Amino acid sequence: MLKRPRAAVFVSGGGTNLQALIDKRGSVITSGDIALVVSNKADAYALERARAAGIDTAYIPFDKQNPYTFENEVSWLLKDKQIDVIVLAGFLCILSENFTERYDHRMINVHPSLIPSFCGKGFYGLKVHEAALEYGVKVTGATVHYVNAVADGGEIILQKAVEVLEGDTPETLQRRVMEQAEWELLPKALELVFKRIVSEQNGDDEPDNEDIVDELDALTADSDR
How far apart (Å, rounded) are the C-alpha atoms in residues 166 and 172?
11
* Closest among 26, 209, 3 to 108, alpha carbons compared: 209
Q: Which residues, 6 or more positions from 37, have their beta carbon under 8 angstroms from its beta carbon?
A: 8, 9, 10, 11, 15, 18, 46, 47, 49, 50, 55, 56, 57, 58
Catalytic residue among 105, 111, 129, 145: 111
129 flagged as catalytic: no
Upper half-sphere CA count for residue 177 (Cβ side, 13 Å): 27
The answer to whether the beta carbons of residues 47 and 8 sit under 8 Å apart is no
How far apart (Å, rounded) are the C-alpha atoms in residues 188 and 65?
35
Amino acid at position 187, single letter: P
Query: For the residues of 96-154, what is the DSSP string, one character each?
Result: PHHHHHHTTTTEEEEESS-TTSS-STT--THHHHHHHHHHT-SEEEEEEEE--SSTT-S
Q: Which residues pair with 145 in a beta bridge?
A: 109, 156
* Residues tagged active-site: 111
